[in-house]
Structure 1
């Protein structure tokens, strides 16, 4: 393989990861600045103005779940890359991999308890521990089974979430038993969408760091483990698909250009129409909370995979077209230090919105939150490349690698 091919290969994966780490903030910004359920509905914790609804609709159609899906695909691809490189050096792939997943889990738990409840690193670490078992499968097998498992997971989510409608209907019947009514009340209470619960959550995040930490280690202590249910339903299948797409060369930009174009067009078109229909259904249903839970958490899963595939294809075509452009190299640099950018974003956003920092939680409109996203994108693009001109790894990438390999890694690039 010549030097040009190697470089193209790396810039494709790195730039994809850069676009993903920037895009995921567009979705996460809502739950940095508002209570959790504001992510589900545009009329929760806001006035429900035209700008609030427009901001939620744009985020739902264009970004919701797609960036997380791309991130999961790339995690599977990167995992295969590390396994290949480790094997080539004669080291034990299993030892290196499980050491990396152990420390990633520690980072994830620290992220959750100390910074932000929306951590995905712990879930990724646990899922990564499972998908390693499939590393020797063929590309075709990984993709086919990954898609099959994803579809089964989507079906289970749709059926499971659909029981909320059943309980809602039964509780609304004139002769509903007290047991059914109590079960319905408990379900609604667990959603945390009442005015009292939203006010309490807002007060908590405007409070001190000690208040937040105390809440995390008491009322939310097992939440990272509860979130692992997403592993077999979504994360593991997506990682499997990512492993297969890496092995096939698709994520390296080595596929047929016509295949990328077809998937780019049909994936985004069909997925986009489906998401547009779901957004219309949400508006037509006046954003009723149980409807919104089903739309955002279950009904959107299948078109989400289509749009994620379409987005990846579009981005690969763009990366190939502008592979030598300085801006693309900045995006790729942001992807090379995606771990630092992801956790660094949480630190900055927690400081901006939480009470131990600037305390802006719940005070800024949805549309205005996009300004924080854009400024953070600019920061990622500005710092990542100059840093990598001097150092081999991002600061947190260096720490993770040093811990996983039980040896302090050489950080500075020799002159």
Structure 2
């Protein structure tokens, strides 16, 4: 029997965390290429360090990489887009400045072996870009159907970023948060520990930083969650003036638990950022979240974990597994039989078409989570829609 009373913790990192700078740059490249060719293939990895950004990976697409070479003008567009992304985050520091960092681009053409296996051809549907397992999760403990510990960790950092972008000079881009909640009868009831570390202007004390951070946390968490027993750690190292890529190197895809469910659900291991939507690491993980969220939104369970698996070059999923954690009002077997039919069978192309993923909508996903966000008018976060609810209720 599962426990109903326990502590659980999740963390988040800000848009200025060095790994998130790398994710943002990689997804900026995805958006740039998809804006030129909706069928572009992109696998872009980014390294950030003191005053340096390095791109590597494989790409293909009309107006991008053709006949073994860059299309005219595209290399300059890439660098311009990368610098604009870093500027938008807010880095204008001696050790990392959007205008002066050294930039190296080692992107190159996609392997023909991969292309043959993945591309659609006569008598063959588009195959998965790699083998792998993907998970989706939803829980009714928050309105966005996400784990509360992660939802609040994200909100704290988004609020601090809003203050910074709004002109608060004391705050710098790099930050981390961590929220520990006590669950009673399976639901979060109070915060037992709050950890926030944020890069700050020179000369500030821990007390100065705490005076900025504590009101934000208290406003984000539900009334009554902060008690006299809540343990606070605000900038526990004492000083956090050197941050971002100058303080630590950053790499694409190193914050996969922050990107997904904060440790409350399994993760297949694949990162999202820098990958076009033919890569099932990304698109199938979005489909898993979409299905799991709709199951919970339909009232068929309080919690739902869903797994899909794929083989490289093969269109049809190898398996589907649904776990309702003992909260289901419908058979898990029924869901396993019916869910994929609601999204065209779960093939890579069917997922992309159902969710409208061949659009430049990915840079915005690079910080504060890929899930638990509001669907947007231009197709962003389409996997957060709950438009399958009526069809799912009919199965019960």
- Structure whose residues are more often strand by fraction: 2
TM over 0.5, yes or no?
no
Normalising by structure 2, what TM-score? Answer: 0.26
- Structure whose residues are more often helix by fraction: 1
Normalising by structure 1, what TM-score? Answer: 0.25
